[in-house]
A and B are shown apart, each in its own frame.
Chain A
Amino acid sequence: MAESAPIVRMSGIVKQFPGARALDGVDFRLLPGEVHALMGENGAGKSTLIKVLTGVHPVDEGEIELAGRPVAFSGPLAAQQAGISTVYQEVNLCGNLSVAENIFVGREPRKFGRIRWREVYRRADELLDRFDLDVDVSAPLSSCSLAVQQMVAIARAVDVEAKVLILDEPTSSLDADEVAQLFRVMRRLKEQGIAILFVSHFLDQIYEVADRITVLRNGRLVGEYLTRELPQVYLVAKMIGRELAELEKLEGKPLARTTEPLIEARDLGRAGAVNPFTLTIREGEVVGLAGLLGSGRTEIARLLFGADHAGGGSVHMGGKKVTLRSPRAAMNHKIAFCSENRREEGLVDELTVRENIVLALQADRGWSRPVSARKADELVRKYVAALNIKGDPDEPVRTLSGGNQQKVLLARWLIMEPRLLILDEPTRGIDVGAKAEIQRLVVELSDGGMAVLFISAELDEVLRLSHKVGVLRDRTLVAQLDNDDALTTDTLMGKIASGAPS
């Protein structure tokens, strides 16, 4: 690619937060017509760089130029008006507004100042069609799944006439099909000369779309590289500052088929969410659930956790029938659920990292039996280290980077030492290094006798960890496959697509 003048140039950017130097003299440039990946571990400063560029946070030092002119935006609105359209890391939309409004609010088509609602709905429909998304655009956004919300956020950003498009982990809740859609749109925009800044922890995605990579580590610039000149292993080494030990083959103890069934769902189902299914999870067993978005993966988890009421069927634990009427009831049976939706259901922003970690444990013990400070300290220290959580345990959790917040949520459920741990997309938004840590932890726990229900859109992750894989298609559990050497991602993919029983 011939080098043209950069559309965005940031030089010597310094951003100091109370307690953390998020950016320390970072230089960055973005060329028109390129897809530029910003890479780094959780907490490396990627989101901060984006927020500084778009005026969410003021810079402490350094200069920002847009098309050669120095700029300092007062906020996202100003940045948008100057032609920088951004999707921030967490889905930032208004759940109370309709899908269509979320795409158009602030720039609705008007006639004499009057919003033309019909036009709004029509154009929203058209736009989402381009992403192959079939949703009722007049429904409130809060009724949509996280993936749809993420697509809506992307659609909103893409529809703006912009010179620069910034996508901070836009693919974290999407699966392969939608990612493909997104990449198609991105390539088209790129051809139109739009510069795209893209953040993702999925290395495959980076190598698929990015022309150029900038790597950050601990708030410092490591370097800028052409993607085709930087093999994946080197990229990882640059990100984490050392060679990542070859992803060791995670061999837990092979599961003795004789362990007791821990929980059995018999014909459990809920109309509109998931068709009746029968599933047995044994002690120490890791059961993976594979399937496309909307195939009913999360719904199964929610039924087993009592977050939704089952329409029919029963759940048995230790041979006895139990009713899981509420999450509380499930927790009394030592079932824990780490939900995929950390922002809405998980963390309490204003509490410290430590408090967030011990929250569920404390709630479980009741307020009359406080967790002793020493015990809490010990637990927090152990899991902060185990999960490599970067940040001060005594700072509010909202000051952590997105990936580190995810780890805090995970730690909260791990310290509960449940008998069944349900993990819904636990490694989403988590960097390669920490991902391996979490996977190792899952294996360790199951060796210790804990049963794990593991939901992930990444098939190789499911395969690496599970003893058994449940395949979902169209809200039906179509197959349960033992994870032996014969099972590969390809056969799994085939099952998901066809669902034909073998």
Chain B
Amino acid sequence: MTATTLPARRFGVPRKYVPVAVTGCLFVAMFVIGGFRYESFATGQVVLNVFIDNAFLLVVAVGMTFVILSGGIDLSVGSVVALTTMVSATLMTGHGWPAWPVILLVLVMGSVLGFAMGAIIHYFEIQPFIVTLAGMFLARGLCYTIGTESISITDPVFTAFAQTRINLGPDLGISPSVLIAAVVVLVAGYVLHYTRLGRSVYAVGGNENSALLMGLPVARTKIAVYTISGFCSALGGILLSFYMLSGYGLHAVGMELDAIAAVVIGGALLTGGSGYLLGTVLGVLVLGLTQTILSFEGTLSSWWTRIFIGLLLLAFILLQRLIGVRRSLRPSGS
């Protein structure tokens, strides 16, 4: 028999990679345009700076990618980041704890928060939007019960992380945070592509009911993605502490939206089941590069970043819609 398979290729790129490819092209285009407009823009360090300035966002966005791929959403990440900076700062500055136990503690705390939200979402069948919104308020509120002022961090381990530069060549350097983020991306990419957990995430995002009837561990998968997101938020919070050297309840306000934007610009579908980690990395880079270009421009207010990101999001959702419409027009039977 013959299967009704229409050509899946357009522009020489398999359809499923189109959104990622578009984001990649966008990034390159922005870089080239920036290079023409501004002197000293088209250097490797500019790209590396984008990584340095957004390492924490990248880590948070990786966690968000898991959640969105599974068809959920996590609005709590920004608050968990803030809570992490706050808890680390008080424990170290206020109570004199050493750095490593604090790091371990906040990572566990983030994961437990994520785990709890995932369990509630699954077992009580409540919308992820609602549960993580509650988590967002909870974590932000906890920040303020710890303190309303910014607390600076002076711990030698943290300052060392903040100041170290790893040289990659003449005039090229990255911070340790970038390395950590890179490791997170690689591990996450491996998990998504090469492990059963990763594939279950895609399956659950594609069709949760089918996944259940196919005998996949749906409960475990859904709880796992929120736990991973919680862990990534906490890790992102630590990287932000390295970057800011302070803990503050108003850190990372609205970061959940940046993370979601990065994932969507990276080509993932908010309905779940479709998207790639590489897309998320590119999404974060596009967001970061937008900010860099605006800082090179100098005169424009930072709100232009928001406007540009808004337009980008719209463009990408339209793009997915177009691809989606094509898909649904395909013949479905004999």
For the complex, is A233 an interface residue (Cβ under 8 Å from B)?
Answer: no
Residues of B within 8 A of A145 (CB): 3-4, 331-334
- The reply to whether B333 and A115 contact each other, CB–CB distance below 8 Å, is no
B14 to chain A, nearest CB (A): 9
Main secondary structure of the interface of A (DSSP, over half): loop
Within 8 A of A (CB), among B187-236: 193-196, 199-200, 202-203, 205-207, 209-217
Q: How far is the CA of A135 from the CA of B8 in the complex (A)?
A: 13
B2 nearest in chain A by CB position: A294
B123 to chain A, nearest CB (A): 13
What per-residue 1/0 map shows which CB atoms of A396-416 lie under 8 Å from chain B?
000000000000000000000
Residues of A within 8 A of B203 (CB): 94, 97, 101, 105-106
Q: A134-B2, A294-B2, A341-B332 known; A143 and B212 CB under 8 Å?
A: no
Q: How far is the CA of A308 from the CA of B260 in the complex (A)?
A: 35
- The reply to whether A115 and B3 contact each other, CB–CB distance below 8 Å, is no
- The reply to whether A96 and B202 contact each other, CB–CB distance below 8 Å, is yes
A52 to chain B, nearest CB (A): 14
For the complex, is B306 an interface residue (Cβ under 8 Å from A)?
Answer: no
- The reply to whether A134 and B3 contact each other, CB–CB distance below 8 Å, is yes
- The reply to whether B206 and A96 contact each other, CB–CB distance below 8 Å, is yes
- The reply to whether A76 and B213 contact each other, CB–CB distance below 8 Å, is yes
- The reply to whether A96 and B274 contact each other, CB–CB distance below 8 Å, is yes
- The reply to whether B334 and A77 contact each other, CB–CB distance below 8 Å, is no
Q: How far is the CA of A307 from the CA of B329 in the complex (A)?
A: 7
**Total number of A residues with any Cβ neighbor in B under 8 Å:** 65
Q: A93-B214, A114-B195 known; A148 and B200 CB under 8 Å?
A: no
For the complex, is A156 an interface residue (Cβ under 8 Å from B)?
Answer: yes
- The reply to whether A339 and B332 contact each other, CB–CB distance below 8 Å, is yes
B137 to chain A, nearest CB (A): 30
What per-residue 1/0 map shows which CB atoms of B309-334 lie under 8 Å from chain A?
00000000000000000010111111
For the complex, is B168 an interface residue (Cβ under 8 Å from A)?
Answer: no
Residues of A within 8 A of B209 (CB): 92
Q: A76-B212, A94-B211 known; A298 and B2 CB under 8 Å?
A: no
Q: How far is the CA of A477 from the CA of B329 in the complex (A)?
A: 23
Q: How far is the CA of A134 from the CA of B333 in the complex (A)?
A: 16
Q: How far is the CA of A110 from the CA of B273 in the complex (A)?
A: 22
Within 8 A of B (CB), among A75-108: 75-77, 79-81, 86, 88, 92-97, 101-102, 105-106, 108
For the complex, is A41 an interface residue (Cβ under 8 Å from B)?
Answer: no
B16 nearest in chain A by CB position: A140
- The reply to whether B332 and A344 contact each other, CB–CB distance below 8 Å, is yes
Q: How far is the CA of A88 from the CA of B7 in the complex (A)?
A: 30
Q: How far is the CA of A264 from the CA of B112 in the complex (A)?
A: 66
- The reply to whether A115 and B16 contact each other, CB–CB distance below 8 Å, is no
For the complex, is A243 an interface residue (Cβ under 8 Å from B)?
Answer: no
- The reply to whether B196 and A115 contact each other, CB–CB distance below 8 Å, is yes
- The reply to whether B215 and A144 contact each other, CB–CB distance below 8 Å, is no
Residues of B within 8 A of A299 (CB): 4, 331
Residues of A within 8 A of B167 (CB): none
Q: A96-B273, A339-B332, A424-B333 known; A135 and B3 CB under 8 Å?
A: yes
A156 to chain B, nearest CB (A): 7
Partner of A293, one of B214, B274, B334: B334
Residues of B within 8 A of A135 (CB): 3, 5
- The reply to whether B8 and A143 contact each other, CB–CB distance below 8 Å, is yes
Q: How far is the CA of A177 from the CA of B2 in the complex (A)?
A: 12
For the complex, is B307 an interface residue (Cβ under 8 Å from A)?
Answer: no
Residues of A near any B CB (own CB < 8 A): 56, 75-77, 79-81, 86, 88, 92-97, 101-102, 105-106, 108, 110, 113-115, 117, 132-136, 139-140, 142-148, 156, 173, 175, 177-178, 272-273, 291-299, 302, 307-308, 339-341, 344-345, 424-425
Residues of B near any A CB (own CB < 8 A): 1-8, 16, 193-196, 199-200, 202-203, 205-207, 209-217, 273-274, 327, 329-334
20 pairs from A and B in contact (CB 8 Å cutoff): A56-B213, A75-B212, A76-B212, A76-B214, A92-B213, A94-B202, A97-B202, A102-B214, A113-B195, A115-B193, A133-B1, A134-B3, A136-B5, A140-B8, A145-B4, A148-B4, A175-B334, A272-B6, A292-B1, A339-B332
**Other 14 A-B pairs with CB < 8 A, given A105-B196, A272-B6, A307-B329:** A79-B215, A94-B206, A96-B206, A96-B207, A106-B215, A113-B195, A115-B193, A117-B194, A135-B5, A140-B16, A143-B4, A145-B3, A148-B3, A295-B334
